A and B are shown apart, each in its own frame.
Chain A
Amino acid sequence: MRLTRRRFLKLSGAGVVATALPLDAAPARAQSGPVRLGILAAKAGVLAPVGESGLRGVQFATDRINAAGGILGRKLELIVEEESSPKDTVERFRKLALSDKVDAVSGAISTGVGLALGPAAEEMKTIWLAWDATTQKGVEESMPKPKYSFRSTDNECEAVMASLLTARHWKGKFKTVAGINPDYSYGRDNWAAFLAIMKKHGIELQVVSELWPKLGATDFTSHVATLAQAKPDLVFSCFWAGDTPIFMKQAHAAGLTKSTKFVLTTGGGVHESLKKDFTPEGAILGYNCFYFENPKASALAKEFTRWHQEKFKEWPNYESDHGYFTVVALKAAVERAAKAGGGRWPSQDAIIQALEGVEAESLSGPRRYREDHIMEATFFQGLTTHRNRYDFVTVDPLESMSTKQIQKPSGVGLYDWINGWKV
């Protein structure tokens, strides 16, 4: 097609209008028909199992909500996109906001992706409810006062809880420690938090080895050999993916599990792969915010666990609960805002306002969004045991802590907060 002068003017005019529009107006959203919820779920690589798990929680919530008549009578419809690199995920977020005109986006696990999505959500004026992807450092650095982003619990919560349990159970029983943590912000921050808390509790320790394998590594024989040489009393690790069983298996083969204490802050994410064959009893194991065999589980949690086991032949893990909560929190906020606004479908600003401080029943009990858009939840950890009906370890007794205790409050630095504790 030949480009005439007239056509060129027309096109460029349209372009100017198109680019000008999103600057001062949020994308138009439907007021009737189904509520459209965009999902960003990782499907490849290290994050795939976690993304899958989050999606299952979202699906469970959506099915239940729709079976009960939807949100204010509108059905919930999911538009699932993939979480991958920060750049591509932001592109998909834009697509969900602009082309699919979603009412909100739920998803994202990777901290790196989260740091990129935060500004994108503000720019696109689209509510984003993160499953994970939250480090307080990131919040401080890039998004002091977000309007559209609602974040998860902090990355460091599980390290804080595991450190408190370490101090409670093992103070005075260990001297030399080693850390083996994935080499990115999550691993670095958790290890630093652990050391800070040990110091705060007056535990004098000697770090004999600090190992930083790449995220997603599948061979730890050299690391294990180094640990065997260093002979630490305690090994701290925040592995959370397939690296956990591989490391434990190779550590066991090298005879490390006989006398060494293990702190596995996040291994519960792949709990079914932590077989009794190579995972010792008496290790501290964290399940983040959802433990599938919680003796105090609600009827809802039991129903979910049953559904998950029947459908996928697996016992569920925490990411499902994060995903589940984002959906029910959105529903609760819409209903809250509608009630305040006389029963009509609320504006986006009203929904955002209602999300702040909203409380909803998650799979692990009540949860809420703090006024600074950070989640509040309950975390579960405990000492591993082999006395169960499975071929993998579980914990007994189960210990729980609220994020009120293990998550830094709004507006304080993580280490300032830890240093300010009264122990």
Chain B
Amino acid sequence: MLFLVAAGLQLVFGVQKILNLACGSFYALGAYAGVSAVRWALGAGLPAPLFFPVLLGAGLILALLGPVVERLLRPIYDRDESFQLLLTFALVLMFEDVIRFFWGTAPHQLGNVYLTYGRLRVGGLTVPTYNLVVIACGAAIAAGMGWFLSRTRFGRVLRATAENREMAEAMAIDMTRVYARVFTLGMALGTVGGALVIPATAAVNEMGIELIVEAFAVVVIGGLGSMRGAFVGALIVGVVKAVAIATWPEVEMLAIYVIVIAVLVLRPTGLFARAIA
């Protein structure tokens, strides 16, 4: 999940050079939309095992708002990063209010669809099958993104833009359209991530902000703008957290930031810092 959001952040940064704090809000929006969509679908008589495509669909449809949000961000493309952080943080606050307006402040969740696919026993531990489905889905998206960026025409355009925007523009690439599309793609990664996580958790107002912090840790570790970095960074953060909780719970948060600091000191560009690779 973290990977999806971090990947969205990376993509947008890599191509548009925008640090988008609002990626956390996309995640929260995706979660809330996922809850509503599945509730509606189950209410309309959809068999429970089909909730997964509904969640995916909810995330993707929500991402259609991407071009609208992107339009809001356009004035700050060429300004200082601090303006970008301010504006996208303002978006975070606004989206939080939008969520409160439509869904209220109480936590929202989907009762037991989480266990629709049953549980598996893995090495003495009971794991809901859904977790494995999500992991598989995340891996598939990672592979899909890799293929898309390296093999398709649009992927090549994106990488070219990330490398050298002026040159790409000189090659008659319409930047306005590229930006709108790439932003929408980044947003879709966030909303789908939020929608997929919801069966295992509950949608709460603060989930967006909660995630941004971790996504930034992932990005710092992996290197800003790198897809592979997002993947490895998310893995590192996830594993370190789990190990810390199992062995020494007091240092759960600390452990991640120790790694962040180590990366910043030893390899300030991050482990995989290059343009979208």
Contact = CB atoms under 8 A, between A and B. Distances in A.
Partners in one complex: yes
Interface of A: 43-46, 48-49, 51-52, 209-214, 216-219, 221-223, 225-226, 228-229, 241-242, 245-246, 249-250, 252-255, 270, 272-273, 275, 277-278, 314, 391
A52 B245 CA distance: 33
Nearest to A278: B112
B207 interface: yes
A228 B126 contact: yes
B246 A44 contact: no
Nearest to B93: A44
B106 A211 contact: no
Given A229-B125, A246-B107, A277-B111, 11 more contacts: A43-B100, A48-B100, A212-B249, A214-B253, A223-B245, A225-B242, A242-B202, A246-B201, A275-B111, A275-B112, A278-B111
B205 A253 contact: no
A229 B247 CA distance: 11
Q: Tell me which of A211, A219, A225, A277 has the highest count of chain B C-beta atoms within 10 A of its own C-beta.
A: A219
Given A225-B242, A249-B109, A249-B200, A218 B207 contact: yes
Interface string B199-241: 0111011110110000000000000000000000000000001
7 contacts: A45-B205, A46-B206, A218-B202, A242-B202, A245-B202, A273-B109, A273-B202
A351 to B, nearest CB: 33
B131 interface: yes
Contact of A216 (B210, B245, B249): B210
What range describes how many residues of B lie at the interface?
A: 35 or more
B106 A314 contact: yes
A242 B241 contact: no
A253 B245 contact: no
A46 to B, nearest CB: 5
B174 interface: no
Contacts of A228: 125-126
Nearest to A230: B246
Interface of B: 93, 96, 100, 104-107, 109, 111-112, 114-115, 119, 125-128, 131, 197, 200-202, 204-207, 209-210, 241-242, 245-246, 249-250, 252-253
B205 A44 contact: yes
Given A225-B125, A314-B106, A212 B200 contact: no
Nearest to B199: A249
Contacts, number: 114
A128 B125 CA distance: 51
A171 to B, nearest CB: 27
B242 A242 contact: no
Contact of B204 (A43, A211, A242): A242
Contacts of A221: 131, 200
Nearest to A225: B125
Contacts of B204: 46, 216, 218, 241-242, 246
Nearest to B97: A44
Given A48-B105, A273-B109, A226 B205 contact: no
Nearest to B247: A226
Given A48-B105, A225-B246, A253-B114, A219 B201 contact: yes
Contacts of B245: 211, 222-223, 225-226
A49 B112 contact: no
Given A277-B112, A391-B111, A226 B249 contact: yes
Q: Tell me which of B96, B112, B204, B242 has the highest count of chain A C-beta atoms within 10 A of its own C-beta.
A: B204
B210 to A, nearest CB: 6
A245 B199 CA distance: 12
Contacts of A216: 204, 206, 210
Contacts of A223: 245, 249
Given A225-B125, A250-B200, A253-B114, A275 B109 contact: yes
A347 B67 CA distance: 60
A277 B126 CA distance: 17
A60 B71 CA distance: 43
Nearest to B31: A218
Nearest to A213: B252
Nearest to B1: A219
Contacts of B126: 228, 253-255
A163 to B, nearest CB: 22
A253 B107 CA distance: 19
A273 B104 CA distance: 13
Nearest to A51: B105
Nearest to B28: A218
Given A211-B249, A273-B109, A253 B115 contact: yes
Given A223-B245, A229-B246, A253-B114, A48 B201 contact: no
Contacts of A241: 107, 204
Nearest to B115: A253
B234 to A, nearest CB: 13
Contacts of A44: 93, 96, 205-206
